[in-house]
């Protein structure tokens, strides 16, 4: 048994494909020099604007501001593997590496969004580089591979994955999955054991980033067997199957041991939701080929099928017109697209009804890989002409991406665009209303009521209705809405407003209990601390008041001197 150049023993000979070599295997008359630098430059140029963006108030404030206490504790880098994403026990999402990425980013950036946007750009640039390397390993021509990576770098439909801070989950996943693809293909063609180890490591990292990684190994199998035309029974592929199963079992065991809620996938309702969502595939294809109807908060109901139908027709014509088409490779790209799109179809409506565009980050790879097997990339144009033609497309896409980033500038801009593009979304109307309430109160109230008419059980909506009533001094009338919201989402702010309800009713002990429950989940809220301290003193609970003063001091919250004096401190 011979040793490979890394010193490890090769258990079998490298796989030899019987498929004809593609353009990258023959001397080329023209190639893109410094291709990687051009690609990274395109990413920086297009997304430089996002460094000046703020928060959108869609999940980003939760992971950074609301989770401030969690992010400050470095021991949570380990604890993230035993809990849900948004909530330790009530959340079905299991994404520990995303949580850890936010913890580490918080250590460097604190509450300032700049650092988070910078990391997002870096991750996107890394994904673009890895995709370019993947095209070469799949023996796509160098110019074609460069075009594929360039379109991926500037495609407007990926704007949300980069410009929206929580979109990092998809860019981080793509970095691990594309690394897994690259290493897996290298092992299949070289037999180097180090490549097998690295591929397993990257697959495991992908699993712990997002559940979509379940489809990563099947996608690589499709690329190896259909795209590279390798024999599925080859020993070097069999070795990978073992590693894939082992990685899945490790992740599954860790997830099963974590304190997370069930997702509802597999229930009768989720099957109905899956069937209802099938047209989303057509909508997503429309956004891939004709990205002119993008939304920061898209819904299936408010997204037209027209552009998707046009895109399907164009794609069908493009493959039919390809003379020497490789249908196996084309089908491989299409399957990869559908595999990575599957989670967007499987998520029950009860969990999430949005058809977010950042979910196209990995599926887009499949579409781009099938393009060389259509007339769009595989035609009679010379490489230089092909590059110029697609350079024009990339320029248009870059302009659309640059413009779309502005929609992520701030909460009002973000939710205004959300309402414009998804007018039937109760959540979008609610979120915009909540951000207009201080400057345009009448308009805000009308939007709250519109949202309530659309869906009275929308998450957080009952809280906002209660908050609106309390501003109008209808404090007691707000209680049913707050209790309803606690049943729907158990939103932490409900306890803060309930304390006011109980205070006005004269039930001071109930108000104390509500504030203590609130501070148990938002321990840095200065107003809540002061209100609780006053209530403890007002109810003659001097010992508890002194203990609370000590807690406030530990948290760095100032205590009025007169209150300290009253407590003899």
Encode the chain (569 residues) as per-residue pLDDT tens digits: 334 433 343 333 444 443 333 443 334 468 999 999 999 999 999 999 999 999 999 999 999 998 999 999 999 999 999 999 988 888 889 999 999 999 999 999 999 999 999 999 999 999 999 999 999 999 999 999 999 999 999 999 999 999 999 999 999 999 999 999 999 999 999 999 999 999 999 999 999 999 999 999 999 999 999 999 999 998 999 999 999 999 999 999 999 999 887 766 767 777 888 898 999 999 999 999 999 999 999 999 999 999 999 999 999 999 999 988 899 999 999 999 999 999 989 887 777 788 999 999 999 999 999 999 999 999 889 999 999 999 999 999 999 999 999 999 999 999 999 999 999 999 999 999 988 866 788 899 999 999 999 999 998 999 999 998 998 889 999 999 999 999 998 899 999 999 999 999 999 999 999 999 999 988 889 999 989 988 988 898 988 888 888 888 888 888 888 877 787 77
- Predicted confidence at residue 270, as pLDDT, reads 75
Whether residues 37 and 174 share a domain: the answer is yes
Whether residues 294 and 167 share a domain: the answer is yes
What backbone phi and psi angles, to 5 degrees, belong to 83?
A: -145, 175
Whether residues 362 and 470 share a domain: the answer is no
- Predicted confidence at residue 329, as pLDDT, reads 96
Whether residues 537 and 429 share a domain: the answer is yes
Query: Measured between alpha carbons, how far is 245 from 429 in angstroms, rounded to an integer?
Result: 45
Determine, yes or no, domain membership for 386.
yes
Beta-bridge partners for 316: none
Determine, yes or no, domain membership for 14.
no
- C-alpha distances out from residue 7 to 3, 194, 196, 445, Å: 6, 9, 14, 70
| Nearest CA-CA partner of 405 in 237, 161, 222 | 161
Whether residues 358 and 447 share a domain: the answer is no
Last residue within a domain, chosen from 357, 392, 408: 408
Determine, yes or no, domain membership for 2.
no
Determine, yes or no, domain membership for 25.
no
- Predicted confidence at residue 455, as pLDDT, reads 94
- Predicted confidence at residue 438, as pLDDT, reads 67
Helix (H) / strand (E) element for 224: namely none
Determine, yes or no, domain membership for 333.
yes
What backbone phi and psi angles, to 5 degrees, belong to 477?
A: -70, -15
Query: Measured between alpha carbons, how far is 284 from 281 in angstroms, rounded to an integer?
Result: 5
- Predicted confidence at residue 134, as pLDDT, reads 98
User: Is residue 311 a contact partner of residue 285, using CB atoms and an 8 Å limit?
Assistant: yes
Last residue within a domain, chosen from 366, 391, 408: 408
Length of the chain in terms of residues written: 569
Determine, yes or no, domain membership for 24.
no
Query: Measured between alpha carbons, how far is 377 from 147 in angstroms, rounded to an integer?
Result: 9
Structure tokens at 350: 């009860």
- Per the listing, tokens 């099957």 go with 271
Query: Measured between alpha carbons, how far is 352 from 327 in angstroms, rounded to an integer?
Result: 35
User: Is residue 316 a contact partner of residue 289, using CB atoms and an 8 Å limit?
Assistant: no
| Overall domain count for the chain | 2
Whether residues 400 and 419 share a domain: the answer is no
- Predicted confidence at residue 122, as pLDDT, reads 98
- Predicted confidence at residue 260, as pLDDT, reads 85
Whether residues 350 and 422 share a domain: the answer is no
Determine, yes or no, domain membership for 8.
no
The whole domain housing 273 covers 32-408
Whether residues 330 and 430 share a domain: the answer is no
- Predicted confidence at residue 437, as pLDDT, reads 67
Last residue within a domain, chosen from 408, 432, 458: 408
- Predicted confidence at residue 266, as pLDDT, reads 66
Whether residues 499 and 398 share a domain: the answer is no
Whether residues 246 and 394 share a domain: the answer is yes
**CATH number assigned to the domain comprising residue 500:** 1.25.40.10
Query: Measured between alpha carbons, how far is 108 from 74 in angstroms, rounded to an integer?
Result: 13
- At residue 554, the 3 state secondary structure works out as helix
- Predicted confidence at residue 12, as pLDDT, reads 38
Q: CA triplet 309, 315, 320: central angle to 5 degrees?
A: 130
Whether residues 388 and 525 share a domain: the answer is no
Structure tokens at 383: 């490489």
Determine, yes or no, domain membership for 41.
yes
- Predicted confidence at residue 26, as pLDDT, reads 38
Whether residues 315 and 340 share a domain: the answer is yes
């Amino acid at each position: 048994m011979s040793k490979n150049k890394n010193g490890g023993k090769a258990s079998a000979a490298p796989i030899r494909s019987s498929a004809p070599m593609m353009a990258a295997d023959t001397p080329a008359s023209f190639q893109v020099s410094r291709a990687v630098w051009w690609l990274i430059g395109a990413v920086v140029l297009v997304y430089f604007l996002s460094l000046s963006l703020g928060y959108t108030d869609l999940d980003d404030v939760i992971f950074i501001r609301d989770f401030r206490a969690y992010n400050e504790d470095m021991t949570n880098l380990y604890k993230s593997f035993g809990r849900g994403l948004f909530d330790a026990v009530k959340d079905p999402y299991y994404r520990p590496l995303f949580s850890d990425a936010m913890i580490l980013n918080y250590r460097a950036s604190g509450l300032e969004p700049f650092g988070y946007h910078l990391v997002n750009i870096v991750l996107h640039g890394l994904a673009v580089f890895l995709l370019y390397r993947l095209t070469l390993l799949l023996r796509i021509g160098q110019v074609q591979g460069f075009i594929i990576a360039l379109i991926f770098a500037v495609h407007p439909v990926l704007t949300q994955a980069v410009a929206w801070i929580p979109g990092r989950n998809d860019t981080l996943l793509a970095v691990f999955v594309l690394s897994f693809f690259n290493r897996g293909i290298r092992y299949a063609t070289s037999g180097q054991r180090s490549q097998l180890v690295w591929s397993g490591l990257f697959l495991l990292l992908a699993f712990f980033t997002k559940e979509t990684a379940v489809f990563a190994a099947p996608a690589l199998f499709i690329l190896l067997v259909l795209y590279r035309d390798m024999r599925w029974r080859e020993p070097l592929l069999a070795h990978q199957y073992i590693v894939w199963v082992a990685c899945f079992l490790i992740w599954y065991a860790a997830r099963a041991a974590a304190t997370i809620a069930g997702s509802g996938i597999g229930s009768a309702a989720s099957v109905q939701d899956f069937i209802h969502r099938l047209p989303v595939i057509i909508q997503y294809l429309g956004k891939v080929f004709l990205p002119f109807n993008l939304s920061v908060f898209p819904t299936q109901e408010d997204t037209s099928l027209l552009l998707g139908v046009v895109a399907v027709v164009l794609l069908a014509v493009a493959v039919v017109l390809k003379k020497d088409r490789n249908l196996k490779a084309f089908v491989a790209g299409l399957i990869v697209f559908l595999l990575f799109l599957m989670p967007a179809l499987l998520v029950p409506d009860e969990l999430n009804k949005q058809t977010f565009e950042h979910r196209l980050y990995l599926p887009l790879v499949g579409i781009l890989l099938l393009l060389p097997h259509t007339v769009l990339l595989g035609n009679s144009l010379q490489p230089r002409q092909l590059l110029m033609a697609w350079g024009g497309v990339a320029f248009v896409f870059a302009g659309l991406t640059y413009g779309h980033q502005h929609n992520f500038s701030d909460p009002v801009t973000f939710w205004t665009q959300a309402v414009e593009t998804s007018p039937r979304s109760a959540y979008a109307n609610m979120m915009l209303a909540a951000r207009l309430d201080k400057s345009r109160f009448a308009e805000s109230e009308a939007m709250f009521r519109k949202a309530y008419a659309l869906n009275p059980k929308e998450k957080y909506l009952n809280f906002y209705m209660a908050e609106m009533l309390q501003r109008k001094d209808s404090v007691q009338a707000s209680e049913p809405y707050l209790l309803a919201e606690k049943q729907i989402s158990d939103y932490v702010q409900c306890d803060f407003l309930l304390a006011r309800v109980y205070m006005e009713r004269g039930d001071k002990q109930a108000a104390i209990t509500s504030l203590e429950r609130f501070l148990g989940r938002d321990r840095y809220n200065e107003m809540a601390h002061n209100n609780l301290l006053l209530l403890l003193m007002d109810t003659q609970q001097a010992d508890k008041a002194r203990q609370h003063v000590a807690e406030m001091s530990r948290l760095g919250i100032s205590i009025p001197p007169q209150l300290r004096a009253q407590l003899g401190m």
